[in-house]
């Protein structure tokens, strides 16, 4: 008697998963290759890049300030809760500045922007795909990469690090103000603590992370939008996929960069 | 000249084109009829290189589309104006910007004075006022969107015009306006046109030849008169749907 068809045979789903993954990598590489090929069409992408920079920078500024402000305040309040009398007060300054600049500023900003910018780009390009607008560009002999992808990726790569700098400043300031409500920390203690363990590389590290996250958000969301299928449902799937994939990649990159740049 | 030789295309397990052979001569207007889902739009997209055939050849101006490199494909596309079913206008851009994108010559595209003059001329050719240029696609009616789509397609002075269901979703009056426009553009510009349509009456009004695509194959092709006289069952069924159960004289 033959064995019943193996319901636990994982070869088929695993194979399908691997093939799908490789197909994504291939299509993503083609898109990046197309971007590289059309980078010379600066007359096309430059004006659109300024528009996108305005959309990302000005449009995202309020939410970034709000999130980083609360992150700084909560970090300060939790520090106050855990603080015992045996630790010098200036350490609070170190904790808040390093937490915000190294981790919370770039990561929280990137996660918020993955939702705001990533969802928007995936939905925009996805709608353009299902309504044949991208096909129309191609039939007009124009490159969708120089018209749609390069401006978005460049604008993100420039503006997201700028937003992270603002997030860091606002987060540290909010932490400074908030900690004084729970601990008897003077301004001199705080600034001394902030400076004593500060290295200029911390600021560079924050910007490097922001730059990596920016590329991750914009490239993934443009890719997902570009490969949208099946009408409105497809646009919804692409948008969700863009946000989820961007968030996961941000966390992976966060770990990878910490290992590569801080723990050599 | 546009030529399709034994073109075969399937999506998954579904065979869409099953050995299509078709020749469209210089300067003629061909109407491609067929029921929904028979691959009329897919066939059109093969011509402009948006879809590659699984087998067979698509030849435009003596060049096989599948074998063209990126640069040559771009050059070929500049000779083809494609009118999409729903216009496919860029929502975030004005009518002016939409039509301007159709100007394929890069030097002319960057010349603002030329572009304004050209856009106004293209709008006039489709019976739209110059003021339409400032509007956005969302501010236009269905018929106007189709006409702007045609304007964009002709802005680059193409040699070929491909229409994908230009009258779908329009009322009879607007359908007639679009049909007249297709006819006048073919006569006035001397372009070679292929019009994919469900509208049999429109096809008879505008086309020099009519083809019926069904079951993945061209089952009949000929002049309107020959088409009317056809005894092919699929043709009869299609004609009787629109013209009623009448006997057509050859």
Across chain A, which has 264 residues, the per-10-residue mean pLDDT values are 62 91 93 91 91 94 96 91 82 93 95 96 95 92 92 96 97 94 89 92 96 96 92 92 96 94 80
> What local confidence, expressed as pLDDT, does residue B250 receive?
39
Cα(A155)–Cα(B225) distance, rounded to whole angstroms?
58
Which of A47, A124, A133, A145 is the mutation pick for testing B, counting most B CBs within 10 A? A133
Q: CB of B24 within 8 A of CB of B80?
A: no
CB < 8 Å to A43, chain B: 110
Q: Which residue is closest to B92 within chain A, CA to CA?
A: A124
Cα B242-B247-B250 angle, rounded to 5 deg = 105
Which of A44, A136, A225 is the mutation pick for testing B, counting most B CBs within 10 A? A136
Nearest alpha carbon to residue A127 among A248, A251, A234: A234
> What local confidence, expressed as pLDDT, does residue A246 receive?
96
Please name the helix (run of DSSP H) or strand (run of DSSP E) that holds residue A16, with its range, or none.
Answer: helix A11-37
Strand ranges inside A115-237, DSSP E? none
pLDDT tens digits for range B45-88 = 999 999 999 999 999 999 999 999 988 998 999 899 999 988 89
Cα(B78)–Cα(A141) distance, rounded to whole angstroms?
6
Query: What is the full DSSP assignment across B28-59?
Result: -EEEEE--TTSSHHHHHHHHTTSS--SEEEEE
Q: How many CB atoms lie within 10 A of CB B111?
A: 14
Q: Do B77 and A139 touch (CB under 8 A)?
A: yes
Sheet holding B29-33, edge to edge: B80-83, B160-164, B192-197, B29-33, B209-214, B217-222
DSSP 3-state of B62: coil
Q: Which residue is closest to A136 within chain B, CA to CA?
A: B88
Q: What are the domain boundaries of chain A?
A: 42-262
Q: Which residue is closest to A44 within chain B, CA to CA?
A: B110
Q: Do B77 and A132 touch (CB under 8 A)?
A: no
Q: What is the ipTM for the molecules in this complex?
A: 0.86
Cα(A242)–Cα(A245) distance, rounded to whole angstroms?
5
Identify which of A132, A135, A141 has the shortest CB distance to residue B74. A141
Q: Do B50 and A140 touch (CB under 8 A)?
A: no
Q: What is the mean pLDDT of residues B233-240?
A: 83
Nearest alpha carbon to residue B80 among B90, B68, B94: B68
Distances, alpha carbon A119 to alpha carbons A147, A223, B97, B140, in Å: 19, 12, 26, 28
Cα(B227)–Cα(B4) distance, rounded to whole angstroms?
20
pLDDT over 90 (residue B134): yes
Residues above pLDDT 70, as percent of chain B: 96
CB < 8 Å to B136, chain A: none
Please name the helix (run of DSSP H) or strand (run of DSSP E) that holds residue A95, with its range, or none.
Answer: helix A90-98
Global pTM value: 0.85
């Amino acid at each position: 008697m033959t064995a019943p068809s193996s319901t636990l045979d994982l070869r088929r789903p695993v194979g399908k998963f691997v093939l799908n993954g490789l197909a994504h990598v291939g299509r993503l590489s083609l898109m990046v290759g197309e971007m590289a090929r059309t980078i010379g069409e600066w007359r096309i992408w430059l004006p659109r890049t300024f528009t996108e920079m305005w959309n990302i920078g000005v449009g995202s500024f309020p939410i970034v300030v709000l999130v980083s402000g609360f992150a700084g305040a909560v970090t300060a309040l939790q520090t106050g809760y855990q603080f015992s009398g045996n630790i010098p007060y200036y350490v609070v300054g170190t904790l808040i500045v390093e937490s915000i600049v190294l981790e919370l500023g770039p990561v929280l900003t990137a996660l918020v922007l993955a939702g705001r910018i990533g969802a928007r780009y995936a939905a925009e390009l996805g709608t353009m795909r299902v309504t044949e607008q991208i096909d129309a560009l191609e039939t007009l002999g124009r490159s969708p990469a120089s018209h749609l992808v390069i401006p978005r990726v460049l604008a993100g790569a420039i503006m997201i690090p700028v937003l992270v700098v603002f997030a860091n400043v606002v987060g540290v300031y909010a932490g400074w103000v908030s900690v004084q409500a729970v601990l008897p920390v003077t301004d001199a203690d705080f600034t001394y603590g902030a400076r004593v363990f500060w290295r200029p590389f911390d600021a560079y590290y924050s910007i490097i992370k922001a730059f990596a996250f920016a590329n991750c958000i914009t490239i993934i969301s443009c890719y997902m939008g570009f490969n949208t299928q099946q009408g409105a449902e497809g646009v919804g799937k692409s948008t969700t996929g863009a946000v989820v994939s961007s968030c996961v990649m941000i966390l992976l990159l966060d770990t990878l960069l910490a290992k590569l740049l801080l723990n050599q | 000249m546009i030529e399709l030789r034994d073109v075969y295309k399937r999506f998954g397990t579904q065979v869409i084109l099953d050995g299509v052979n078709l020749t469209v001569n210089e300067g003629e207007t061909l109407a491609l009829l067929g029921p929904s889902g028979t691959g009329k739009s897919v066939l059109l997209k093969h011509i402009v290189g948006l879809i590659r055939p699984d087998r067979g050849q698509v030849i435009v101006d003596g060049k096989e589309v599948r074998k063209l490199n990126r640069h040559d494909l771009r050059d070929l596309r500049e000779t083809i104006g494609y009118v999409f079913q729903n216009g496919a206008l860029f929502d975030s851009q004005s009518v002016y910007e939409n039509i301007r994108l159709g100007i394929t010559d890069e030097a002319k595209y960057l010349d603002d004075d030329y572009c304004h003059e050209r856009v106004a001329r293209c709008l006039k050719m489709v019976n739209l006022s110059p003021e339409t240029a400032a509007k956005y696609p969302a501010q236009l009616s269905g018929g106007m969107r189709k006409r702007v789509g045609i304007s964009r397609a002709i802005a680059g002075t193409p040699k070929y015009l491909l229409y994908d269901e230009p009258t779908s979703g329009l009322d009879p009056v607007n359908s007639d306006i679009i049909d007249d426009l297709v006819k006048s553009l073919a006569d006035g510009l001397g372009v070679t046109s292929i019009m994919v349509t469900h509208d049999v009456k429109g096809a008879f009004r505008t086309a020099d030849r009519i083809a019926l695509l069904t079951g993945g194959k061209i089952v009949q092709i000929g002049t309107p008169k020959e088409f009317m006289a056809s005894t092919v069952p699929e043709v009869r069924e299609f004609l009787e749907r629109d013209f009623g159960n009448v006997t057509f004289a050859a």
